[in-house]
Amino acid sequence: MLELPASEAAAAAEAAADLVLARPAGPGGVRVLAVDGPSGSGKTTLAAAVAGALRARGVDVVVVHMDDLYPGWDGLAEAVGLVTEQVLGPLSSGAPAAFRRWDWVAHTWVQRVPVPAAPVVVVEGVGCGSRPCAPHLAALVWVEADDDERMRRGVERDGEAYRPHWERWAVQERALFAAEGTRQRADLVLRT
């Protein structure tokens, strides 16, 4: 496991790109990189940086955001099964992949979103590195930050009215990460 400080975020993106490209593609020709960690730690930012680094190398990449798969503020555990069944399983077997997107405002499932079989698919979000996902992953990156900093980022992004939702979500995260041992299984750890 390699740990890099936030001051080396560009290096972390390059390291993650190197890591996933060094791994063999699955039967479907896809390498899946999971970017997991608690909310507000910087997963989305890192995933975008990794995708940029891969594209700069001429590698086609698709990014899937777990936020589109969580069925609401109490749906973290359910989303692990959804991403495994709808995205990771099909991609790793060479089948077409697509997921139903959750509409957070309407509180319902909406359109199906196709996930093309690219040489690299980056899946980012809480739970994407869980054990059910692991057989389908080429590599796992863990992103973390102090609890107070993560809460500050979340409230800054979503507004103070969302603090109770963030607190409720944090309880689910702690339970999931404790059960899954995700950080301990990561190939790369980034502290932001």
CATH classification at residue 12: 3.40.50.300
Please give the tally of structural domains in the chain.
Answer: 1
pLDDT value at residue 143? 94
Q: By residue range, what is the domain housing residue 142?
A: 2-31+39-191
What pTM was estimated for this model as a whole?
0.92
Quick one: how far is CA 72 from the chain centroid? 17
Task: Name the residue among 127, 42, 30 with its Cα closest to residue 84.
Answer: 127
- What are the residue ranges of helices labelled H in 8-140? 9-22, 43-56, 76-83, 89-93
Q: Which residues contact 140 (CB under 8 A, 6 or more apart)?
A: 33, 34, 36, 129, 134, 182, 185, 186, 187, 188
Place of tokens 């001429």: 58
The C-alpha atoms of residue 115 and residue 35 are separated, in whole angstroms, by 17
pLDDT value at residue 79? 97
The C-alpha atoms of residue 115 and residue 82 are separated, in whole angstroms, by 14
pLDDT value at residue 5? 56
b/e map of 112-144 (b: 16 or more CB within 10 Å)? ebebebbbbbbbbbbbbbbeebeebbbbbbbbb
pLDDT value at residue 72? 94
Encoded amino acid at 166, one letter: W
Check if the beta carbon of residue 144 is closer than 8 Å to that of residue 38. Answer: yes
pLDDT value at residue 66? 98
Q: Is 99 strand, coil or helix?
A: strand
pLDDT in tens, the chain (192 residues): 445 555 577 889 999 999 999 999 988 899 999 999 998 898 999 999 999 999 999 999 999 999 999 999 999 999 999 999 999 999 999 999 999 999 999 999 999 999 999 999 999 999 999 999 999 999 999 999 888 888 788 778 888 887 788 788 889 999 999 999 999 999 999 888
Half-sphere exposure of 119 (CA within 13 A, CB side): 13
Place of tokens 């057989």: 135
pLDDT value at residue 7? 56
- What are the residue ranges of helices labelled H in the chain? 9-22, 43-56, 76-83, 89-93, 147-158, 163-180, 182-185
pLDDT value at residue 155? 77
